[in-house]
Amino acid sequence: MSVAWLDKVQWTADGLVPVIAQEVGTNKVLMFAWMNREALRLTAETGQAVYWSRSRNRLWHKGEESGHVQKVHEIRLDCDEDVVLISVEQVGGIACHTGRHNCFFQKLADTEWVIDQPVIKNPGDIYHRE
């Protein structure tokens, strides 16, 4: 499989690209993360979102622990070719590690951040670390 399309992406000095994950159908923004070249290649080839975890410094197959994988419907690149937008079906309906549908659950109301999305599943029940 040709990977010349990966060369079009303007990677940061660290070899990363910011990625916005959006839900197919609702178009809600689920999360924001980063990919390196290998992560983007795997995302395209496997049809499931694979990110680069900057905190763990390794590839991160979204849902590898939780089962909440993201099935990729579309991969887009912006005008400057330095931001990726993916449309995904969020398995389990939970994209956020807090157990919420998406990560953007804090809304600015006047001068305060207010949480306006429920926890669907307790993180302790999602992640079973030994």
**Interface residues for a second copy in 23-82 (CB under 8 A)?**
26-29, 31-32, 44, 74-81
Our CB check for a second copy shows the closer of 28 and 121 to be: 28
Our CB check for a second copy shows the closer of 15 and 114 to be: 114
User: Closest separation between CB of residue 56 and a second copy, Å?
Assistant: 14
Element (H, E) at 41: helix 37-46
Write the CA distances from 55 to 11, 15, 52, 58, 59, integer angstroms: 18, 15, 9, 8, 11
Under rule CB under 8 A, residue 8 binds a second copy: yes
User: Closest separation between CB of residue 53 and a second copy, Å?
Assistant: 12
Measure the CA–CA gap between 42 and 39, rounded to whole angstroms: 5
Q: Which residues pair with 20 in a beta bridge?
A: 32, 85
Measure the CA–CA gap between 94 and 120, rounded to whole angstroms: 7
Q: Which residues bind a second copy (CB under 8 A)?
A: 1-5, 8, 18, 20, 22, 26-29, 31-32, 44, 74-81, 83, 85, 96-98, 100, 103-108, 111-113
